[in-house]
Amino acid sequence: MKKAPFKLNAEHVALDFVNTLDDRYTAGGPRELLPTYDELLRFCREGGLLTHIEAARLGALSAASQEKGLRSAIELRELLARVFYRWVDGRPPSTEDRTALERWSSAYAQRRELRWEDGHLAWRWKTLTSDAEAPALLLAEQGLDLLLAHEPPRLRTCASDTCRWLFLDTSKNRTRRWCDMKTCGNRAKARRYSAAHQN
């Protein structure tokens, strides 16, 4: 059976990534949406970080290195989650987390090289498809890009208490409240409706 595509509605892949631990703050949660390395690869493909060919090559690496690659991605995701959720509250990352971000930054810097392509220089990955940690490193790069953007990102969490998915508020009036109007937004509307029509 073909799996449903990941919900990528955060306006940034690093936030979509954090949202893959679903129901993070729900009593019955959390729910892991990335239980295997294959699912991590699928997420990166759907998020535009890996091509089909790259994902297929990474998917052919040894089980042991895939396991390691998955563990390091999950570790990164939880680091980003701590940093982003504090960011939403206007709080800086802990010293420990800041040091961890520095480590991720130097790890991916070591895997890149400068190449001359189409008349200009560009950073390219040296050994992307033989490195099981590539998904984690690509996501670390995205996360740091967002945190260090020229304009500080307008991070928000979904207004539903049981959801709290992260997203970037890119709306003109800064009024986006829901991760997805079709699910969380409508549920809230239905609740308001039934509360107003009770008795």
Q: Out of 10, 73, 163, 166, point to the residue binding Zn ion (CB under 5 A).
A: 163
- Compute the distance between CA of residue 119 and CA of residue 155 in angstroms, rounded to an integer: 36
Nearest C-alpha neighbor of 73 from the set 38, 46, 27 = 38
Site for Zn ion contains 18 (CB under 5 A): no
> What is the identity of the amino acid at 41?
L
Site for Zn ion contains 19 (CB under 5 A): no
- Give the binding range for Zn ion (CB under 5 A) out of 72-80, 140-148, 173-181, 188-196: 173-181
- Give the binding range for Zn ion (CB under 5 A) out of 4-12, 57-65, 134-142, 181-189: 181-189
Site for Zn ion contains 179 (CB under 5 A): yes
Nearest C-alpha neighbor of 97 from the set 85, 79, 75, 84 = 79
The answer to whether the Cα torsion of 97, 103, 107, 112 is positive or negative is positive
Q: Out of 20, 142, 157, 160, point to the residue binding Zn ion (CB under 5 A).
A: 160
- Give the binding range for Zn ion (CB under 5 A) out of 23-31, 66-74, 88-96, 180-188: 180-188
Site for Zn ion contains 10 (CB under 5 A): no
Nearer to Zn ion among residue 26 and residue 65 (C-beta): 26
Q: Judging by DSSP bridges, how do beta strands 120-125 and 112-117 pair with one another?
A: antiparallel
Q: Out of 40, 101, 158, 166, point to the residue binding Zn ion (CB under 5 A).
A: 158
Beta bridge partners of 112: 125
Nearer to Zn ion among residue 27 and residue 114 (C-beta): 27
115's enclosing H/E stretch is strand 112-117
Supply angle C-alpha 13, 50, 163, rounded to 5.
25
In the complex, the residues that contact Zn ion under the rule CB under 5 A are 158, 160, 163, 165, 179, 184
